[in-house]
Amino acid sequence: MRSDPFFHPVSGAVLPRFAGVPSFMRLPHLAPDHPRRAEVEVALFGMPWDGGTSNRPGARHGPRALRDASTMVRAEHGVTGFRPFEAMACADLGDVAVNPVDQDETLDAITAFVGDIVRGRARPLGVAGDHLCTLPVLRGLKSAEPPGLVLLDSHTDLYPLYFGGSTLTHGNPFRVAVEERLIDPARSIMIGMRGTRYNDEDRLFARDAGIRVVPMDELEERGIADVAEEARDIAGGGPAYLSFDIDFIDPAFAPGTGTPEVGGPTSAEALRLLRALSGLELVGADLVEVSPPFDNGGITAWLGASVLFELLCLMGDETPR
């Protein structure tokens, strides 16, 4: 056990899991000036902002719902037996001070927040908000060697700016990330795309940039193990970033999201795929687009909390055990 007990979640044996002030996974909530903040290795934080949403809003309420649901997470992974809180010093750093009506100010605040994390030698595990929030996270991570990307999503989010304007939306982050050289397209893969689309501008952009896109029907046909192996081949062997849009999973399992697309994987399939991604060298990860106002009885938040735990365990994979 490497991590100090200070960084362990409050145990369910001390206080029932439904009780207490809810931080992510019941981890210590550290204010910016907390004396032990420098020891944090994995920084969970919220980006409660949905100002890039072109369709149904509400993802601004995602981080709070995930804090609530994630207090149900226990100490040990059910399949691998990995105990992430003992392997890494994890903490909840709170939410970025977003401005609900100002996109520029918010994106800058996120970039700065992640920059602080990185400077503290911690790795970010972010909870948004809409998918546009991933862009400033990548900006905050910017380095000489851009990471590869593994995107689990039902959309590529590679669209040109739309509504004829100059303002970004949650359909644009990865196009801009490629343009700003925040990710390495040649080491990037997007899995799960489906549903109707306006046109194929995103696919053409992916093709030209060299991003591999595995649509849902291909995933069904080839199976999870095969696609996961391809993802590890593409994004492995160097730094990688994993972004998980909850709408990757079928809306029966994850109704609480802004732009659901039916015909997606079950939760069992999604978790199996995540486990199969083990071994990536993750510089950061995020979970986005959980929109509590459209959730049914909290099942999306609960599923999101399980996904978040899988992401955390994947981040622990490269930590010597």
- Residue ranges of the annotated binding site are 131, 153, 155, 157, 245, 247
Q: Whole-number minimum distance, CB 89 to a second copy, in Å?
A: 18
Residue number with CB closer to a second copy (106 or 188): 106
Please report, for residues 45, 104, 213, 280, the alpha-carbon distance to residue 154 in angstroms, rounded to integers and kept in the order given.
24, 26, 11, 22
Angle (deg, nearest 10), helices 299-316 and 62-70: 80
Q: Token pair for residue 22?
A: 């809810």
Q: Which two tokens stand for residue 227?
A: 């696609």
CB-wise, 120 or 195, nearer to a second copy? 195
Could you tell me which of 120, 105, 152, 101 has the C-alpha nearest to residue 45?
Answer: 120
- Least distance CB 275 / a second copy (angstroms): 8
Going by the annotation, the residues of the binding site for Mn(2+) are 131, 153, 155, 157, 245, 247
Cα 127 from Cα 95, distance rounded (Å): 9
**CB closer to a second copy, 297 vs 320:** 297
Shortest separation between residue 184's beta carbon and a second copy, angstroms: 27
* Rounded distance between C-alpha atoms, residue 59 and residue 48, angstroms: 7
Which has the closest alpha carbon to 52: 124, 121, 110?
110
Taking the complex as a whole, the smallest distance from the CB of residue 147 to a second copy amounts, in Å, to: 27
CB-wise, 100 or 279, nearer to a second copy? 100
